[in-house]
Structure formats: C-alpha cells, structure tokens
C-alpha cells in the first residue's frame, strides 16, 4: 500500500474520531480541526471565544503544526 493511501486513510480515521467526539457525527472540516488544536495548545478548553480570539487560536495551531518544519 502506498504511503499516500495510508496517509489518506489515517486522516479519514482522525476526522471520523474528532467528528464523533465534537460534532455529533457531522464531518469536521480542516478549519475546525485547526481550531481544536489551537484550543488544546492554549489549554482553556471550557471557555467561549469571540471571533477574533478564534482566529488567534487558529494562528496558534498553525504555528504549532508548522514548527517542526522551521
């Protein structure tokens, strides 16, 4: 099995897991997953955020995801 196919299958498994846990089964999109990563990195899971704060959380997540690449 090629690496691309394995990666796609693992991604689909992750999307299904997160969708079942956070959105009652509706598939989460990439923005939603990035937002969840930002909330996790901030450590304030049970807090409501305004629109600009959500964008900042997404920025935190993207920085965290790209950190290994310099």
- C-alpha 61/C-alpha 27 separation (Å) is 19
Integer distance in angstroms from the first to the last C-alpha of the chain? 30
- C-alpha 32/C-alpha 29 separation (Å) is 5
Closest CA to 40 of 12, 23, 60: 60
Tens digit of each residue's pLDDT, the chain (70 residues): 799 999 999 999 999 999 999 888 789 999 999 999 999 999 988 889 999 999 999 999 999 999 999 8
Cβ atoms within 10 Å, residue 30: 9
For the entire predicted model, the pTM comes to 0.84
Q: Is 1 helix (H, G, I), strand (E, B) or coil?
A: coil
Domain boundaries along the sequence of the chain: 3-69
């Amino acid at each position: 099995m090629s690496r691309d196919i394995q990666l796609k299958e693992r991604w689909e498994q992750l999307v299904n897991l997160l969708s079942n846990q956070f959105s009652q089964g509706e598939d989460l999109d990439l923005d939603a997953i990035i937002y969840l990563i930002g909330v996790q990195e901030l450590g304030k899971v049970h807090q409501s955020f305004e629109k600009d704060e959500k964008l900042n959380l997404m920025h935190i997540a993207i920085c965290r995801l790209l950190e290994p690449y310099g």
